[in-house]
Structure 1
Amino acid sequence: MKNGKVFYGVCLIGLGLFFSLQSFGIIGNLWNVSWPIILLFVSVGFHLGFFLSGGKKQQAGLLVPGGILFVLSLLFMFEEMTNWSFSGFTWPFYLFAVAFGLFELWLFGGKEVGLLIPIFILSGLGVVFLIQNLFTFNILSFWPAILIIIGLFLIFGRGRHHSKNL
């Protein structure tokens, strides 16, 4: 526990020094670039909390907010560097952030199969919306055709030889 106190103490001292130097005008207004770095440090803190505990499955829940904040901090750094001019295109990464946090929970928390369902749903939706943003046509206008194709596949595709169980 002493290592954790030292780590968080050093982080708080660093943040205090940074904001003090900024308020005295010694360093310029770096807030636009620095606030995503704070999220990154919090993310690293969640990850360190898990891995310093010995990587126990009971502590794997720490990885969900850690993974979410990690992806969001990288996204926000990119958005701040580009003056948020791509935010209309990068919003699917919010879905990827949650999927990544859940994936870390799945990976280090016992690999429960049920957790893969929301991971694949969020990742799939993120990919669909990202592709929609990248192309000029609206891919979601084809969703009825996609439903029909999936339905035909379910009826006539892979399960025909299993019909004796009905």
Structure 2
Amino acid sequence: MKTKPANAITGLIFVITGMFILLANLEIIPMPRASVAWPAFILLPAVGFHAGFFLSGRKRELAGLLVPGGILLVISLLFFFETATSFSYSGHTWPVYLLAPAFGLFELWYFGKREKGLLIPISILTGIAVFSWGEMLMSAVGRLWPVIFILIGVYLLFGRRKAKGID
């Protein structure tokens, strides 16, 4: 009897999860605290969606699995970072929430039928995220803008001057 790909993926996830919990219960490996490990519950479905697509032989008609898979993958990685840093950078990492759907849609475009229409929301979401990070960077550097005046003034005072009529 042939196993369906969805059953194989689900079975594989259960086997890996069960082995991990068993090894942790036998104190062979440490069990991470729930306060640190909770993003894994977002990562597991992301891996499942990706596995479903790639184990299907990368069929273009199943590329839609990559949209939620890509979104959940990016969000879970962000949450792993945030929990590791006690959410101290969350004021600066919020544009990743815009990049998550852009990444999922990009995977759909790349592995799917490469419909040009998908590039519009991908570009808009990525552009807003990059612009937001640029704004954050400029506001941090914004206090230093008088340095431009200083540099221009120094150049005007001491820069190379060409004397008229003299070689």
Could you tell me the TM-score, scaled by structure 1's length? 0.71
Amino acid of the structure 1 residue aligned with 2:115? E
Amino acid of the structure 1 residue aligned with 2:62? Q
Q: Match of 1:103?
A: 106
| Separation in 2, partners of 1:10, 1:48 | 10
Amino acid of the structure 2 residue aligned with 1:71? V
Q: Match of 1:35?
A: 38
| Separation in 2, partners of 1:8, 1:38 | 14
Whether contact under 8 Å (2:9, 2:51) holds in the other structure is no
Change (3 A) 1:10 1:48: closer
- How far has the Cα of 1:32 moved from its partner? 2.1
State which of 138, 141, 160 in structure 2 corresponds to 1:135.
Answer: 138
Instruction: Map 1:5-154 to 2 at 5 A.
Output: 5-15=7-17, 30-136=33-139
Amino acid of the structure 1 residue aligned with 2:35? N
Amino acid of the structure 2 residue aligned with 1:52? L
| Separation in 1, partners of 2:60, 2:102 | 19
Change (3 A) 1:98 1:138: farther
Whether contact under 8 Å (1:36, 1:73) holds in the other structure is yes
1 or 2, which has the higher helix percentage?
1
Backbone CA RMSD of aligned residues: 2.7
Aligned residues: 138
- How far has the Cα of 1:17 moved from its partner? 6.5
Whether contact under 8 Å (1:89, 1:134) holds in the other structure is no
| Separation in 2, partners of 1:61, 1:6 | 19
Identity %: 50
Amino acid of the structure 1 residue aligned with 2:60? K
Q: Which sections of structure 2, spanning at least 5 residues, go unmatched?
A: 143-167
Amino acid of the structure 1 residue aligned with 2:133? L
Whether contact under 8 Å (1:99, 1:122) holds in the other structure is yes
| Separation in 2, partners of 1:10, 1:109 | 25
| Separation in 1, partners of 2:51, 2:135 | 36
